[in-house]
Amino acid sequence: MKAAVFREVNTPMEIEDIEVSKPGPREVLVRTQAAGICHSDMHFFNGTYPGAVPMVLGHESAGIVEEVGSDVHYVKPGDHVITCLSVFCGHCEHCLTGHMSLCQEPETKRGKDEEPRLHQGEQMLQQFAQLGSFAEMMLVHEHAVVKIRDDMPMDRAALIGCGVTTGVGSVIHTAAVEPGATVAVIGCGGIGLSCINGAAIAGAARIFAVDMVPSKLELARKFGATDVVDASNGDAVEQVIEATGGGVHYSFEAIGLKATAEQAFRMLKAGGTATVIGMIPPGEMVAVHGVDFLSEKKIQGSMMGSNRFRVDMPRFVDFYLQGRLHLDDLVSNRIKLSDINEGMAALETGEVARSVIMFD
């Protein structure tokens, strides 16, 4: 099969012929139909986060089941599925307490003495997030997929696999925003727009979209933002505090920067909660004023929107088909696998929400 192979930081990927193994007892072979290009891919491509190479990047994807292993009963060939990097074992402490997105059990991967899922001759290729969706096929553990209805368009289904689940989930699960609350979202890329959409679904009374790109702020209104804050035109924190008369109940950082994480905390009112979704570079420390803790302000992280993806994603599909989840406007470009490097470059500019690779 063909795949975009990541071999060196900040070096364009080549489309190469690689080999995929046969499904093991609890594995599923998926023919990739669509794969979104996410900032998490970029963090590894540009070296912000370390990763083993050679690797097939990509993790925000949807496809059709091609073949299943002997012990797989959940899906069958022909089923439409969304993949998710929150691969879960089902029996560890995190899974049993409903926090499957935190599962780190190694049994969902192949052992060192087994044939690698992806290889090129004698060379093993890593799968990013146990998926590797910048390829025509994905061989994954059965707990990395969720069945969806066949009438869901694949390009929009792919976005649910990471960005949408992360953004909406951080609002409804991690922060548990309640109806009538005030919300601010810093960063209006794919995840930030999904946060805004999630806050609207949750019934937030006012939703502030914060960004420096006018086109993204305008797009944020389509997703449910009631107010927009141009961070290039004065202090964003001061603008939010002035507009609300003291700050918001909930804030979300969807960029991955120390400075914006600190801003998210500062724009809270007493008792408010800041949720950091973005991937802040390793080693950077976020500083907050200790006196703010006396007013019960909180700052927390979120992993993939604290999802229960086999429950959440079919519901998100229904929300989209009901017109409540605005996925159409998230797709900025539809490209071919051969255009992967142009897609990555477009993501780096910050001008697009999502480029989606279409395989058929």
The partner residues of 356 in beta bridges, in order of sequence, read 36, 334
Residue of 38, 84, 103, 195 with catalytic role:
38
Q: What is the dihedral of CA 105, 36, 343, 233, to 10 degrees?
A: -100
Residue of 39, 40, 188, 326 with catalytic role:
40
Residue appearing with tokens 């071919």: 336
The partner residues of 250 in beta bridges, in order of sequence, read 183, 273
Residue of 21, 39, 43, 70 with catalytic role:
43
Here the tokens at position 229 are 């804050």
What DSSP character marks residue 292? G
Buried b (16+ CB within 10 A) or exposed e, 214-237: eebbebbeebbbbbbbebeeeebb
Residue of 84, 95, 103, 162 with catalytic role:
162
Strands 145-147 and 80-83: antiparallel
133 is catalytic: no
195 is catalytic: no
141 is catalytic: no
A 10 A CB-CB count for 111 gives 7
Cis amide bond preceding 54, omega within 30: yes
21 is catalytic: no
89 is catalytic: no
**CB-CB contact of 170 with 198 (8 Å):** yes
Residues with Cβ within 8 Å of residue 276, at least 6 apart in sequence: 253, 261, 264, 286, 299, 300, 301, 302
Active site residues: 38, 40, 43, 59, 162
